[in-house]
Amino acid sequence: MRRAALFDLDSTLTDHATAFASWAEEFSASTGIPVSALMRAETCHAGARHAFFAELKNAFGLRRSIASLHADYRRRSAELVPYRPEICTAIQQLADSGWELGVITNGSPDAQRLKLETARLTDYFASVVISGEYGIRKPDAALFQVALDELGVADPTHGVMTGDCLIADIGGGQRAGLRTVWIANGRTCRDFDPEPTHLAQDVVEAADWLLGNPPRPERPSLLSLVGG
């Protein structure tokens, strides 16, 4: 029985917060914009880079275009993603236990693949599904189906989606029929949030749970056993 362990990338497999903080230090040094202002803009516009750079350009008189600022950010922030050996070890343990491994991420293909490479994670994943290559984004269930199909897992109940975003990762995974693991990072669910199958604080903890809770093959019915 094939089983799929699917993972989000940013703030799940990779440490977005550390990469952003390193980028902010460099950007501040080159532009004079205080790091505190960059952190405030990140809080307000996380996931909306056009708005992030538009605010900075208006507030601090940056002359470069928003498109140029964004392009440099995508490249440099990907280069600054830290290598975390404990994550690689956890993913290797899943592979050794027979899990088919995939990544499902929203974003730019070049940047997302560079992040995987920088974090030394590329070789672990047989499937890397990036929204920018398909024209659909999580939580669209179709993106999850692409990964399951590529990994040869026909039954979504034999797959698990792990990610930090309750809407995109947990809600999307549920729409696709997957079990889900939420990377909480100290957060708690609200009453109206999608409810994950399991809550973990990081990928290492999530991998430990997956190793102890693989999908179980369905027990044959009495009718099938007697040929009825």
Given a cut of 60, whether residue 225 has pLDDT beyond it is no
Q: Residue 125 is encoded by which pair of tokens? A: 């994943």
Question: Of the CATH numbers 3.40.718.10, 3.40.50.1000, 3.40.50.10880, 3.40.1010.20, which one belongs to the domain with range 4-15+82-212?
Answer: 3.40.50.1000
E strand map for 124-178: 127-130, 159-163
20-46 residue pLDDT tens? 999 999 999 999 999 999 999 999 987
pLDDT of residue 46: 75
Q: Which amino acid is at 63?
A: R
* Alpha carbons 161 and 4: distance in angstroms, whole number: 8
- What is the reported pLDDT for 220? 53
pLDDT band at residue 224 under the 50/70/90 scheme: very low
pLDDT in tens, 92-139: 999 999 999 999 999 999 999 999 999 999 999 999 999 999 999 999
All structural domains of the chain with their residue ranges: 4-15+82-212, 16-79
Residue 226 above 60 pLDDT?
no
Task: Decide: pTM greater than 0.75.
Answer: yes
Cα dihedral 84→85→88→92 (10° resolution) = -160
Q: Which helix (H) or strand (E) element contains residue 183?
A: strand 179-183
pLDDT tens, 134-184? 999 999 999 999 999 999 999 999 999 999 999 999 999 999 999 999 999
The C-alpha atoms of residue 97 and residue 74 are separated, in whole angstroms, by: 34
Instruction: Output Rg (C-alpha) for the chain, integer angstroms.
Output: 20
| C-alpha–C-alpha distance, residues 6 and 205, integer Å | 15
**Which token pair is 12?**
């799940």
